[in-house]
Amino acid sequence: QVHLVESGGGLVQAGGSLRLSCTASGRTFTFSNYAMAWFRQAPGKPREFVATISRNFGITSYADSVKGRFTISRDNAKNTVYLQINSLKPEDTAVYYCAGRFARYGGDDQNAYDYWGQGTQVTVSS
């Protein structure tokens, strides 16, 4: 059984920052074998890709809407992936999910990911 648990969401004013964390656990789960990603789902909208990081060497990719404001990183020793969110906008309001894919690179296709967390709510007030 694999568990991904997100934390760090909350209510923040526009222009503020948050750091989301996602910690993975599981008896047979080797975190460093998985590319990791963040997706988000705003109210009434489909879930969308935010960012991904390769399982080694920290190669990252971002959705155009978050480039320059969001930073994904990981600490394989702590089985944790992070999403630093700066200059928050009301349109960033969403439930943020982390996901893991047993591959070197994750990509932006959510159907390719093997494991998902339950999500953490980010609400940005104007």
Query: pLDDT (tens digit, 9 = 90+) per residue, 15-56?
Result: 999 999 999 999 888 999 999 999 999 999 999 999 999 999
Q: What tens digit of pLDDT does each residue of 96-105 get? A: 999 999 999 9
Looking at residue 93, its pLDDT comes to 97
Taking only the tens place, the pLDDT of each residue in 60-95 is 999 999 999 999 999 999 999 999 999 999 999 999
Q: Which residues partner with 20 through β-bridges?
A: 83
Is the predicted pLDDT of residue 1 greater than 90, yes or no? no
Query: Which pLDDT score, from 0 to 100, does residue 29 have?
Result: 87
* pLDDT of the residue at 13: 97
Element (H, E) at 16: none
| DSSP per-residue codes, the chain | --EEEEE--EEEETT--EEEEEEEE-TT--GGG-EEEEEEE-TTS--EEEEEE-SSTT-EEE-TTTTTTEEEEEEGGGTEEEEEE-S--GGG-EEEEEEEESSS---S-GGG--EE---EEEEEE-
